[in-house]
Structure 1
């Protein structure tokens, strides 16, 4: 049975962690299949948006720690290099050029939280739980968690969450911006959004590129990217039709 399921419904691709009997905990086999799914998606010209979720009652309960770190008697530098390879298995989600949505219906703990954070939009259900719980088990955060939490909820809230290492409930997560949307059925809502964005795939990808530039580059670079993308978008049929309607009203 595949540990990661990939299903296409029109231009929307759903990637599902498929180890429900262990709450979709990540071991090296799951991560290898996840990386393959992400790499395939990056090369799939027919995919206009992506939804990431988990089978069963958990989004992802974190890493299977017994096998994740390998031989702990190795030098620290070797463990670091190994971990960076592990991180790359899911951080490829950040590099996808199409919008990505995490549908979080249950626990997203540790590395599972990282997978959700690597997506552009998090849709959380009433039973969602978000766990930056590294410190609670004596482990430093990894997998980009520190950076992605700061990006999403700000420095002070990220600092508090990581130092505390506690579970963040669905309502509080939404209040602080950890999740973007709440829905009784987060998978259905994420798919609805993905379908909408995929219908205007070229524009959605350009907007994602501009937002990424605005986040990580200076204002002048952002203006350059926006100006070119806006100029290119004037050729699409939706805008041209709107322009005709607008002109008729004036």
Structure 2
């Protein structure tokens, strides 16, 4: 089954919800494109001043769909490139949405799902949510700019601990390291995200200017794309090698 993407607006705050409880909100090409479409909807609605992404059920996003990943092992290089790019494009698009963005991490964020959370400007997490790199432990090189996203969120040591050594964090411990802004009980997470988003969202024009300035002045514009290209070939190699 494919994860669907729900979209609604609450008091100038757009909510994007990954809804695929049976797949723990994993991403395949269809759901990745639906996420891109939701981001497009945010950008063209002048009444929206912030966006929150979260997951339905007990997971935030369990990463790339396992069947889709399995197919890459036997795919031609150009097919594997395009398949991976469709996933990268989804969380890259969320990271470039024109309003300030929040990831409300309600449960497990694994692999590409962790990348999606890291693409947000601010992350809030349920105290018992799990943040799991999930690449190396499964014999896969990280992709999508994983090391870059970890480093910009919490520094080089965090990028090494999670991306190289595969360390896992709960939402509470992620708040201690700075990987998330705050951790709250899961029952309070949506309210906390809405409360954080609403003040800036009331002035959508200013909100968009603030988001643009934040990203232009704190991260070199080409850094994420360069990181994606560095990791892409090694991820493709790791998926196709005999094991």
Report the TM-score when normalising by structure 2. 0.83
Cα deviation for residue 39 of structure 1 reads 1.8
- Per the alignment, residue 115 of structure 1 pairs with 116
Q: 1:25 to 1:71 in 2, by over 3 A?
A: closer
Question: Bigger CA drift: 74-83 or 12-21?
Answer: 74-83
User: 1:52 matched to which residue of 2?
Assistant: 53
1:196 counterpart residue number? 199
| Deviation of 1:116 (Å) | 0.7
- Quote the Cα distance in structure 1 between the aligned partners of 2:75 and 2:219: 35
1:116–1:179: structure 2 CA closer, same or farther, 3 Å change rule? same
Partner of 1:211: 214
Q: How does 1:226-245 map to 2 (within 5 A)?
A: none
Q: Please state how far the C-alpha of 1:41 moved relative to its aligned partner.
A: 1.6
Superposed displacement of residue 87, structure 1: 0.9
Alignment of 1:136-155 (within 5 A): 136-155=137-156
Q: Structure 1: how far apart are the matches of 2:130 and 2:28?
A: 21
Q: Can you give the 5+ residue segments of structure 1 that lack an aligned partner in the other structure?
A: 219-250
1:147–1:69 distance in 2 versus 1, CA, 3 Å:
farther
C-alpha deviation, 1:203, in angstroms: 2.5
Q: Which portions of structure 1, spanning 4 or more consecutive aligned residues, are displaced by more than 4 angstroms? A: none
Q: Distance in 2 between matches of 1:182 and 1:63?
A: 25
Give the C-alpha shift of residue 208 in structure 1. Answer: 2.0
Question: Which has the higher relative contact order, 1 or 2, with Cα contacts under 8 A spaced 6 or more apart?
Answer: 2
Paired residue total: 218
User: Residue 32 of structure 2 contacts residue 86 of structure 2 at CA under 8 Å; is this kept in 1?
Assistant: no
Query: Unaligned stretches of 5+ in structure 2?
Result: 222-243
Deviation of the 1:71 alpha carbon: 4.3
Q: Which residue of 1 aligns with 2:18?
A: 17
Shift of 1:86: 2.1
Cα distance between partner residues in 2 of 1:2 and 1:131: 20
User: What is the alpha-carbon distance in structure 2 between the residues aligned to residue 172 and residue 143 of structure 1?
Assistant: 24
Shift of 1:2: 7.7
Taking the aligned partners of 2:49 and 2:69, their CA distance within structure 1 comes to 32
Distance 1:69-1:85 versus aligned 2 partners, 3 A rule: farther
Q: CA deviation at 1:75?
A: 4.0
Contact 2:24 2:61 in 1 (8 A): yes
Distance in structure 2 (CA, Å) of the matches to 1:143 and 1:69: 18
Question: Post-superposition shift, 1:68?
Answer: 3.9
Q: Give the equivalent residue in structure 1 for 2:34.
A: 33
